[in-house]
Amino acid sequence: MSTSLRINPIACTGHGMCAELLPEVIELDRWGYPVVVSPAIPRSLLEYARRAARACPTLALLVEEKAGKHR
C-alpha cells in the first residue's frame, strides 16, 4: 500500500494551509502555491497528511492510496 499526495491545481487557490500543516513535504512557491517536494508519503507522516487534506479550504489536497505491487 503506497500513499501519495496530489494537488488539484484548478481547485487550489494558494491558501497555503497545507504548507503550514505538512512542512516536511509541501513548500510554497513565490506566488504562494504549493509545491509537493516528494509525492510519496512516509507512514510516519500519513496522519498529518490526512489532516492537511481535511484542512484545505478548497479541498484541493488529495491523499491517494494505491495498491502496492506484489513481488
Partner 1 sequence: MSLDLHGPGLWYATRATGLVALLLLTVSVLLGILTAGRFATENWPRFLSQGLHRNTSLLVLAFLILHVGTTVVDTYTTIPLVAAFVPFASDYKAAWLSLGAVALDLLLALVATSLVRRRLGHGTWRRVHWLAYACWPVAVAHGLGIGTDRGAAWVLVLSMACVLAVLGTAGWRVITAARPGPTQ
Partner 2 sequence: MTATRLLAGVADAAGLQDYERWYGPLPGPGGPPGRARSRSRSRRPERLIEIIEAAGLTGRGGAGFPAGRKMRSVAARPGRKAVVANGAEGEPASRKDRLLLTRLPHLVLDGITLAAAAVGADEAYLCAHGTDSGLLRRLGHAVAERQAAGLDPVPIRVTGIPARYVSSEQSSIVQYLNGGPGRPTFSPPRPHERGVNGKPTLVHNVETLAHMAMIARHGHRWFRGAGLPSAPGSMLVTVSGAVTRPGVYEIEMGTTAGEVIMLAGGPAERLQALLIGGYFGAWLPVEAAWPVPMTHAGLRAAGGALGAGIVIAFPAAACPIAETARVARYLAEESARQCGPCRLGLPALADALASLAFSGDQGGSADDIAALIPLVERRGACRHPDGAAQLARSLLTAFPADVHRHRWQGACDGVRRPPLLPLPR
Site for partner 1, rule CB under 8 A: 11, 13-17, 20-21, 30-33, 54-55, 57-59
CB of residue 28 to partner 1, shortest distance in Å: 11
3-state secondary structure of 18: helix
- Residue where the block lists cell 506566488: 31
Q: In which residue are the cell numbers 504562494 written?
A: 32
Work out how close the CB of 52 gets to partner 1 at its nearest, in angstroms, rounded to a whole number: 9
- Report which secondary-structure segment, H or E, holds 3: strand 2-7
Binding site partner of 61, from partner 1, partner 2, none, Cβ cut-off 5-8 A by kind: none
Give me the residues paired with residue 26 across strands.
Answer: 36
Residues of this chain that interact with partner 2 (CB under 8 A) are 8-14, 29-33, 35
The entry of partner 1, partner 2, none that residue 69 binds, CB within 5 to 8 Å by partner kind: none
Angstrom distance (rounded) from CA 22 to CA 66: 20
